[in-house]
Structure 1
Amino acid sequence: MTAVMSASQPTVRALRAEDHDAWRELFRGYAAFYEQSDAMLETTWGWLLDPDHEVEGLVAEEGERLIGLAHFRPFSRPLAASVGGYLDDLFVAPDARGSGAADALLEGVREIAQDRGWTVVRWITADDNHRARSKYDQVATRTMWVTYEMPV
């Protein structure tokens, strides 16, 4: 993946091992927004660094500071006979919102999807996540699908 860079946007690159502490703070902020504990932090970090695990990560940085993250993975689409990308997590530090980090991260995921031949990038967000939905409405099409979860 080529780094996304311009005068108005942060740089986007693949997550690296040395990003652990800064990534941890960003992911902790993301988890807090969704009222989740941070018990999953180290498991998720392990997945992101494991080349055999499907989940991958991008980060947005301004200078030496990480200001955003995106976690994504492939998923099979049987009815389309294709593979798509699933954006699990997208988060920008509150003090960096409006910096272009969200746009740069979404474009980074789109570029990976194009390089890998994925046919779509899909994600969900909370209905009341108005700021994020405003951004998503600019770059994607809201679908009519309703999401369910079945406890196991």
Structure 2
Amino acid sequence: MNLIVRPIEVADHAAWDELYQAYAEFYGVDQTADMRERVFGWLTTHAHEVNGFCAELDGALVGITHYRVFARPLAAATGLFLDDLFVSPDARGTGAAGALIDAVRDVAKSDGHSVVRWITAKDNARARGLYDKIANETAWVTYDLNV
């Protein structure tokens, strides 16, 4: 088993699209091909604050993560927000998710950010099993104000 984590590239488009669509379906989010095209453009043209990594297992794309910088005024610091993390069901348990998180943590360290932060669904038990081992659950409650 050969696992490689690297930045998302233009040549990853089809495999990334399949994974990102599966990620949206996992969370029950309606997403169109146009929406995925926009996000992929952000990732590959660097015309947006979002960056990404992919995980390759034996040459096949099996996981993706997207992240961006956010300000932490109260701490007078910046952090990286891990927006999306998805590993195909067949590749779960291979270490791909942890390797993707490690890649984001490495960027945070090298760029001087103080934290990597993310959210997940309360019932995402499998992912939370990993998250509880490598990070600290916070007491914060998340709200969305639709505009």
Report the TM range for the smaller structure's normalisation: over 0.9
Contact 1:56 1:72 in 2 (8 A): yes
Query: Within 5 A, what are the aligned runs for 1:3-22?
Result: 10-22=3-15
Work out the CA distance in 1 between the residues paired with 2:81 and 2:134.
Answer: 15
Residue 9 of structure 1 and its aligned partner are, at CA, apart by 6.3
Match of 1:99 in 2: 94
Question: Which AA in structure 2 matches 1:33?
Answer: F
Q: Deviations over 1:42-88 (max 9, x none)?
A: 11111111223110010000122000001000000000111100000
Contact 2:43 2:52 in 1 (8 A): yes
Contact 1:69 1:90 in 2 (8 A): yes
Aligned residue for 2:74, secondary structure, equals: coil
Number of residues paired by the alignment? 145
Aligned residue for 2:75, secondary structure, equals: coil
Q: What 5-or-longer segments of structure 2 have no aligned partner?
A: none
Aligned residue for 1:79, secondary structure, equals: helix
Aligned residue for 1:87, secondary structure, equals: strand
Work out the CA distance in 1 between the residues paired with 2:79 and 2:2.
Answer: 26
Structure 1 runs (4+) deviating above 4 angstroms are: none
Match of 2:132 in 1: 137
Question: Which AA in structure 2 matches 1:60?
Answer: A
2:27 corresponds, among 31, 34, 40, to 34
Match of 2:76 in 1: 81
Q: Does 1:122 find its partner at 2:117? A: yes
Calculate the TM-score normalised by the size of structure 1: 0.92
Aligned residue for 2:85, secondary structure, equals: strand
Q: Percent identity?
A: 52
**RMSD value over aligned CA atoms?**
1.1
Aligned residue for 1:44, secondary structure, equals: helix
Work out the CA distance in 2 between the residues paired with 1:74 and 1:132.
Answer: 23
Deviates most, 70-79 or 50-59? 50-59
Residue 38 of structure 1 and its aligned partner are, at CA, apart by 2.6
Work out the CA distance in 2 between the residues paired with 1:19 and 1:64.
Answer: 11
Calculate the TM-score normalised by the size of structure 2: 0.95
Work out the CA distance in 2 between the residues paired with 1:19 and 1:108.
Answer: 18
Residue 37 of structure 1 and its aligned partner are, at CA, apart by 2.1
Match of 1:3 in 2: none
Question: Which AA in structure 2 matches 1:109?
Answer: V
Match of 1:23 in 2: 16
